[in-house]
Each structure stands twice: as structure tokens, then as C-alpha cells.
């Protein structure tokens, strides 16, 4: 998975979901922090056939609440 982010201290968290339930999660660092846009990437374990979504998010440094998120559905055949 790769993308662009504009996050505090370039921190990018992610979750892999199947049927809405998290099956894997992690974090990575973008190439540069906000206000610029940096690139990031991460890998997951190989996936079996099915419908999934990946959620990329930013959490508040103040209280840990989600301040931004993006969900991308996809299918593996």
C-alpha cells in the first residue's frame, strides 16, 4: 500500500479490515511532516480471496483521537 499524507510528525497509522473487523494494523512514517505532503508505504501479509478495506488514519498528539481517516475498499480474487 502506498500513498501521500500530510500528518503531524509524519506519523501514519493503518488498519486492514475484512467484513469491517480489523485483521492487521500498524504504523509507518511519511517522507515529510505537515504541512507538506509526504509519501508513505507499507506491506501486509498475503491475503486470501475476499473483500477488504484499508484504513489510513492520523491520531491527535493531544488525546489520541482520530483527526483524519481514509478508507479504501478492495477485493482479492
Q: Is the pTM of this model over 0.95?
A: no
Per residue in 1-56, pLDDT tens?
Answer: 999 999 999 999 999 999 999 999 999 999 999 999 999 999 999 999 999 999 99
Q: How far apart are the first and last CA of the chain?
A: 17
Question: pLDDT-derived band of residue 73, with 50, 70 and 90 as boundaries?
Answer: very high
Is there a contact between 57 and 74 (Cβ–Cβ < 8 Å)?
A: no
Phi, psi of 44 (to 5 degrees): -115, 170
Amino acid at each position: 500500500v502506498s500513498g501521500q499524507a500530510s500528518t503531524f510528525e509524519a506519523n501514519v497509522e493503518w488498519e486492514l479490515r475484512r467484513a469491517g473487523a480489523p485483521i492487521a494494523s500498524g504504523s509507518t512514517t511519511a517522507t515529510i511532516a505537515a504541512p507538506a505532503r509526504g509519501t508513505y508505504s507499507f506491506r501486509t501479509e498475503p491475503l486470501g480471496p475476499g473483500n477488504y478495506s484499508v484504513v489510513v488514519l492520523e491520531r491527535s498528539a493531544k488525546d489520541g483521537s482520530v483527526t483524519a481517516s481514509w478508507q479504501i475498499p478492495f477485493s482479492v480474487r
